[in-house]
Structures are given as structure tokens and as C-alpha cells.
């Protein structure tokens, strides 16, 4: 009888320790870096994130910029958070393997600009109900439709630069190296999968039936860089 009670108590304590360890691991994963300051709270649902320093050009400063929020008494400006994307994962992987990032900073900026533009334009089909969007609610001379049309033209320009070319053609690779169900990967499909779908090059190969061989990965990364360079 006594042994059974002890066993139940020990089992309860073991469950409590396991739960405490699980919660501690969650808090560790979502901990906000100290350089961001105390105003950003830890949020487990936030997911993977990266830090950056907000910058803004000052009026009359001849192009000099201001490094974000710099509270009095703190040595450096505070950093902010943004959602980590596939390019952050590529950079972390390259750093872990002690190799250079295969995509340049300018190409990454072009990819993120394309992603942000697509997301904003797709969400712009319905006019919002904020005061700024209501008639007379904004001091700007531009209207909602002007911005929507301008974004659409910019998207057309970028997609024209992406073109209708082929990043990975089945006929150029022998069957043993490409995989049994390999399908042609176009430049547009590649860019949309990486920039909009947040997929790695390896994942893009898998979705299109290609084997994730080193040569295939290298070829598709090279094709991605070429397309992003045209989009700059």
C-alpha cells in the first residue's frame, strides 16, 4: 500500500518536471534578444524570427539615416524583430557549413521586395475601412486605386524580368541523375516557390520530382541567382 502511494507521488513529480522542462524549452525558443529591449514580449506563436535595426532617412540630412529607436541612457539603438524567411535559413546553413551565402544581398532584397509587393497587392483588392482610406480621411493627393494600379505595374515589370525561361529542363539531365518523376521547373515557378512559398531549393526539387543531388541543387541555385539578378 505504502509503495503504491510512493510510486504515484513519484510519477506525479516526474510529470511535473517534464511539463516544466517543456515550458522552459518553449520560453527559450521564443526569448527576445536583449538588444531589442524590454518592450517586445516573448511570444511562442511568433515562430522563427530575425533581428534588424530600423533605419530612416532624416529630412535635410543629405542622405544620412537615423538608426531607429535609441532610448536615453542606452549605448546602442534597439533592434526590432521580423519573421525569418527562407533566405535567413539559407544564410544560417551557409554559416554552419562555413561557406559563402550563395545569394547576394542585392538579390535577397529583390526577392523580398517581390514577395512584399505580391502580398500587399493581393490583399489590396478590397479597400480597407480605416479612416485613412475613407473619402477625405487622408491628406495625400493620391487615392487607393492609384497605389493599387502602380503596384500592379511594378509587378508586371518584375514578372517580365523573370520571364518564361526554364530553370531546370528534364531533357538536359540524364534520367539517373534527375529522378523518375522529374518535371521541368520554370523560372517563374522557381521564384514563386522560393519567394512566396518560402521553400528551399531542395524542397523545390522535391516538389517537382527531382532528386536532391548536389549537382541538381547547384544548378537550381545558380538559376535562382540569375533570375533574382534580373529582378534587381
- pLDDT tens figures, 10-48: 888 889 999 999 998 988 888 898 888 888 888 888 888
Q: Which domain holds residue 135?
A: 85-232
Q: Is residue 71 part of a domain?
A: no
Q: Is residue 196 part of a domain?
A: yes
Q: What's the total number of domains in the chain?
A: 1
Q: Is residue 73 part of a domain?
A: no
Q: Is residue 10 part of a domain?
A: no
Q: Is residue 175 part of a domain?
A: yes
pLDDT tens per residue across span 131-174: 455 555 555 556 778 888 888 999 999 999 999 999 988 877 77
CA 51, CA 224: separation in Å to the nearest integer?
Answer: 25
Nearest CA-CA partner of 111 in 139, 93, 91: 91
Q: Is residue 166 part of a domain?
A: yes
Q: Is residue 49 part of a domain?
A: no
- Within 10 angstroms of residue 108's Cβ, the number of other Cβ atoms is 19
Q: Is residue 148 part of a domain?
A: yes
Enter the pTM of the model.
0.73
What pLDDT, on a 0 to 100 scale, did the predictor assign at position 59?
63
Confidence of residue 129 (pLDDT cuts 50, 70, 90): very low
Q: Which residues contact 51 (CB under 8 A, 6 or more apart)?
A: 33, 35, 36, 79, 80, 81, 82
Amino acid at each position: 500500500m505504502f509503495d503504491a502511494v510512493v510510486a504515484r507521488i513519484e510519477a506525479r513529480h516526474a510529470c511535473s518536471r517534464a511539463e516544466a522542462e517543456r515550458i522552459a524549452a518553449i520560453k527559450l525558443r521564443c526569448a527576445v534578444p536583449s538588444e531589442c529591449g524590454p518592450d517586445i514580449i516573448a511570444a511562442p506563436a511568433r515562430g522563427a524570427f530575425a533581428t534588424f535595426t530600423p533605419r530612416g532617412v532624416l529630412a535635410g540630412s543629405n542622405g544620412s539615416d537615423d538608426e531607429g529607436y535609441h532610448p536615453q541612457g542606452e549605448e546602442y539603438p534597439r533592434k526590432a524583430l521580423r519573421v525569418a524567411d527562407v533566405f535567413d535559413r539559407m544564410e544560417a546553413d551557409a554559416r554552419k557549413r562555413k561557406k559563402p551565402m550563395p545569394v547576394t544581398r542585392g538579390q535577397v532584397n529583390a526577392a523580398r521586395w517581390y514577395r512584399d509587393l505580391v502580398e500587399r497587392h493581393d490583399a489590396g483588392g478590397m479597400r480597407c475601412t480605416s479612416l485613412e482610406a475613407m473619402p477625405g480621411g487622408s491628406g495625400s493627393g493620391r487615392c487607393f486605386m492609384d497605389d493599387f494600379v502602380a503596384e500592379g505595374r511594378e509587378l508586371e515589370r518584375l514578372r517580365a524580368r523573370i520571364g518564361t525561361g526554364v530553370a531546370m529542363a528534364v531533357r538536359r539531365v540524364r534520367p539517373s541523375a534527375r529522378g523518375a518523376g522529374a518535371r521541368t521547373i520554370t523560372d517563374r515557378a522557381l521564384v514563386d516557390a522560393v519567394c512566396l512559398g518560402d521553400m528551399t531549393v531542395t524542397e523545390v526539387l522535391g516538389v517537382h520530382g527531382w532528386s536532391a543531388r548536389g549537382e541538381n541543387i547547384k544548378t537550381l541555385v545558380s538559376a535562382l541567382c540569375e533570375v533574382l539578378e534580373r529582378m534587381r
